[in-house]
Amino acid sequence: MNTPRHPEYQYLDLLQDILDSGTRKELFLTPEVQQEYRDRGEDLPHIKSVFGRQLRFNLQDGFPLLTTKKTFSRGIIEELLWFLSGSSNIKYLVDRNVHIWDEWAYKKYRKCCSEEGLPDLTQKEFIARLKEEPADSDYVKRWGELVTIYGRMWRRWPASDGREIDQLGWCVKGLRKRPFRKSYVVSAWNPDFIYDMASPGNANEVPPFCHTTYQLSVTHGNRLNLGLYQRSADVFLGVPFNIASYALLLLMVAQVTGLEAGEFVHTFGDVHTYSNHEAQVREQLSRDPRPMPHMKLNPGIKELDDFTFEDFTLEGYDPHPPLKAPITNVGGY
């Protein structure tokens, strides 16, 4: 009898594929970011990428939180709750000591420092002030605001008539009444907020929506599946978060619609590793996957907006030690 291959090998195979056959590409880095590398005496990073790959995880087999390195599960949960709130200000995350979006807010501040004569704060000082200030302060409203972020597009898509459309809410409502429909799609790709296509005031330093769209679809009568298309994927740092985040979203939507969680299908466009992550990638490839954990949700929660951090319990997670690597601040305008 053949033992089924551990689902995590899909991810490890993708890492190896990029190392073996990836194409070298240069990165778009703003002058401010380039200068930071020069100040540190470091070479500018580049990427190796492949195009068009797919991973599949059946949530009946366990929760796909990678075990070949410890992954920040608290940050994944808090970030997803932030997305689901529809907020585009990082104050919620900063207050909870989740700093995965700090660089993007600080990048905007740094760009304006010389133009407006602002205090030359370090990123640590900048974030400390965001945490100290009340949510309604002018400082938080301006510098904590990312404008173009997933939660806003999922829950508050700006319509041409001034409305804010709750795309995900519409999907949940539909899945409860007509689960057989094929139109439950949530899009984050909004050209009105992307680089030189953006309307005045909408352009932002945050890269345009890496997770462009996802679809919720029911098979086998009551099995809910989620398919994500990701146009750009940092496979070492970002993708482990993305896998777990969308798998968790699938569990949540399945619970509030009375359906059974099925497959998370992760489809990539450009999927890549960064040159300053290569040593960590090779270390991860030397490790064998361990049993997948399980994520338990509070069964009493019946609406997406009612979930809190305390409603999630991760069981049986025994990963290898963490592998740290720098975030490369790409994009801008």
Structure tokens at 54: 């797919």
For residues 130-150, average pLDDT: 94
Question: Which residues contact residue 188 at a Cβ distance below 8 angstroms, ignoring those fewer than 6 apart?
Answer: 150, 153, 154, 209, 211, 212, 213
Supply the pLDDT for residue 13: 98
CA 50 to each of CA 14, 56, 237: distance values in angstroms, whole numbers, following the listed order = 9, 18, 16
pLDDT greater than 70 at residue 1: no
For residues 59-68, average pLDDT: 97
Q: How many CA atoms lie within 13 A of 4 on its CB side?
A: 7
Is there a contact between 286 and 77 (Cβ–Cβ < 8 Å)? Answer: no
pLDDT greater than 70 at residue 332: no
| pLDDT tens by residue, 273-294 | 999 999 999 999 999 999 999 9
Supply the pLDDT for residue 329: 65
Q: What is the mean pLDDT of the chain?
A: 93
pLDDT greater than 70 at residue 331: no
The domains of the chain are located at: 9-20+50-87+150-315, 89-146
| pLDDT tens by residue, 21-40 | 999 999 887 777 777 788 88
pLDDT greater than 80 at residue 79: yes
112 among known catalytic residues: no
Alpha-carbon distance of 35 to 28, in angstroms, equals: 13
pLDDT greater than 80 at residue 185: yes
Question: Residue 154 — pLDDT band, cuts 50, 70, 90?
Answer: very high
Question: Residue 231 — pLDDT band, cuts 50, 70, 90?
Answer: very high
Question: Residue 236 — pLDDT band, cuts 50, 70, 90?
Answer: very high
Helix pair 123-132, 102-116: axis angle to 10 deg: 100
pLDDT greater than 80 at residue 104: yes
Question: Residue 333 — pLDDT band, cuts 50, 70, 90?
Answer: very low
Poorest-confidence range of 41-45, 200-204, 217-221, 271-275?
Answer: 200-204
pLDDT greater than 80 at residue 2: no
Share of the chain above pLDDT 90, in %: 78
For residues 235-260, average pLDDT: 97
With 0.85 as the threshold, say if the pTM is over it. Answer: yes
CATH 3.30.70.3000 applies to domain 9-20+50-87+150-315: no
